[in-house]
Amino acid sequence: MRFYTEKQLQARIEAAMAPLLEKIAELEQKIARLEKNSSNSSKPPSSDIVKPPKVTVTRKKGKRRKGAQPGHPRHERAPFTEEEIDRQVTYEREDLDPKEWEPLDEWEVVQQIELKESPVEIIEHRARQYRHRRTQVLLCAPLPDEVRAAGLVGPRLSAYIAFLKGACHMSYTTIQTLLADVFGVHLSTGQLAKITTCKVSAALAEPYEQLRAALPQEPQLGIDETGHKDDGKAQWTWCFRARSFILFLISASRGSEVLQQVLGTAFAGVINCDYFSAYRKFMKDSSAIMQFCLAHLIRDVKFLAEQNDKVTRNWAERMLKDFEELFRLIHRREQLPEARFQTKLERCRDKLVRQFKSAPDRSGVRDLRQRFKLHAKQFFTFVTTPGIEPTNNLTEQAIRYIVIDRKVTQGTRGHNGQRWSERIWTVLSSCRLQHRSAFQFIFEAVHAFLRGQQTPSLLPQAP
């Protein structure tokens, strides 16, 4: 039997435990990755649907009733004006003695919106033919160009079908069923696809290109991107949010070359974005100024605050308190004199930068420390540049509509579908931002396109 000294025994135990401790660390990292969600990382909220975080919510039962609460103002829609009313129906009492009952010029009014029995109008355009009496040559009266260009479906119904497809996320089969059951109009799904991806898409091409040409001149842009499949192939939808419009672009690339193609290397505005490598490369290759999203950074810090390592957790919790102080100050901006607000803002920034640069040398923290070593200035551009938001939340809100549409409609298949999608998404989002009727804009664009006239613009009009 072999005997070991205490030191030898300790060395053998440590040698045996080393691979076990390494395995435990590896498993802890895997568990940490699995616990990532949209609240503690840069993962999209849609990823929570696949494996939602386990949250137990305990609601206190009270006596609060459903609906409007006491003390809250009542919200009622304004009645229709006389100009908006198409028809009036008057009811009177014929059984009352006029000697006893005086009719008043006052009414109990019930305003009602109703769908017409047949809201569509079927028009037959007929051009008479003529035969030359001597030569027997046939001649036809000219049909208007817009009638020939529109074909079977007129401009307003074309705009309506496009609105159902783009704004309401409806499939061609669902639109086909709606038109047949409600309107008595029977169209094939192939015809519906031609209306949207050919006719309406062509009508929206000019307004879309106008916005794209205007992007390089914008002083500030929020940019984000989301991946999807096109007929099984990977594609990326880019979102460019300007002050008064939003533009979407579908590309096979997620790289900085897309930014160079759209904005050009001479672009000198501010880009609000996340810390993705494409934006950092574009920053080096252009004159752009970056504002990296603080919301993404805070989510990464939240993830570290949930780790088992005490040193990492304590540092992350301190950072979260400092971020809370920063955003509490931002929300109080209107209550403070401008000079005092700016001084406090710079103080909060300097404190956060110091905390990041002196972060503990721990796994997971090193990456954040390196970010601030390289780009501390770009995380706080909003401090020295008025009008810049510290987060990219507005752009993420705009692109969320696209994610929903992609999940409902299963995305696109081919070049025509991509062009239709990026144009209709751009029109819908820009009209919403400008408080315009998207349907009316689509109709006016289709109507002008069929007549060979200039289509309406989504660019802000000069005062």
Report pLDDT digits (tens) over 72-91: 777 788 899 999 999 999 99
pLDDT of residue 56 exceeding 70, the answer is: no
* Spatial contact of 412 and 421, defined as CB atoms under 8 Å apart: yes
Range with the poorest average pLDDT among 106-110, 344-348, 400-404: 400-404
Q: What percent of the chain has pLDDT over 90?
A: 65
Report pLDDT digits (tens) over 178-212: 999 999 999 999 999 999 999 999 999 999 999 99
pLDDT of residue 60 exceeding 50, the answer is: yes
pLDDT tier at 61 (50, 70, 90 boundaries)?
low
State the Cα torsion 249-254-258-259 to the nearest 10°.
100
pLDDT (average), residues 51-62:
56
pLDDT of residue 40 exceeding 80, the answer is: no
pLDDT tier at 11 (50, 70, 90 boundaries)?
confident
pLDDT at residue number 455: 94
pLDDT tier at 39 (50, 70, 90 boundaries)?
low
pLDDT tier at 386 (50, 70, 90 boundaries)?
confident
Separation of alpha carbons 163 and 154, rounded Å: 14
pLDDT at residue number 49: 42
Compare 413 and 49 and report the one with higher pLDDT: 413
pLDDT at residue number 22: 78
pLDDT at residue number 62: 61
pLDDT at residue number 58: 60
Show Cβ contacts of residue 344 under 8 Å, excluding neighbours closer than 6 positions.
Answer: 329, 336
Full 3-state SS string of the chain: CCCCCHHHHHHHHHHHHHHHHHHHHHHHHHHHHHCCCCCCCCCCCCHHHHCCCCCCCCCCCCCCCCCCCCCCCCCCCCCCCCCCCCCCCCCCCCCCCCCCCCCCCCCCCCCCCCCCCCCCCCCCCCCCEEECCCCCCEEECCCCHHHHHHCCCCHHHHHHHHHHHHCCCCCHHHHHHHHHHHHCCCCCHHHHHHHHHHHHHHHCHHHHHHHHHHHHHCCEEEEEEEEEEECCEEEEEEEEECCCCEEEEEECCCCHHHHHHHHCCCCCCEEEECCCHHHHHHHHHCCCEEEECHHHHHHHHHHHCCCCCHHHHHHHHHHHHHHHHHHHHHHCHHHCCHHHHHHHHHHHHHHHHHHHHCCCCCCCHHHHHHHHHHHCHHHCHHHHCCCCCCCCHHHHHHHHHHHHHHHHHCCECCHHHHHHHHHHHHHHHHHHHCCCCHHHHHHHHHHHHHCCCCCCCCCCCCC
pLDDT at residue number 328: 93
pLDDT (average), residues 336-357:
91
Report pLDDT digits (tens) over 118-134: 889 999 999 999 999 99
Compare 58 and 25 and report the one with higher pLDDT: 25
pLDDT (average), residues 268-289:
95
Compare 271 and 10 and report the one with higher pLDDT: 271
Report pLDDT digits (tens) over 140-179: 999 999 999 999 999 999 999 999 999 999 999 999 999 9
pLDDT of residue 417 exceeding 80, the answer is: yes
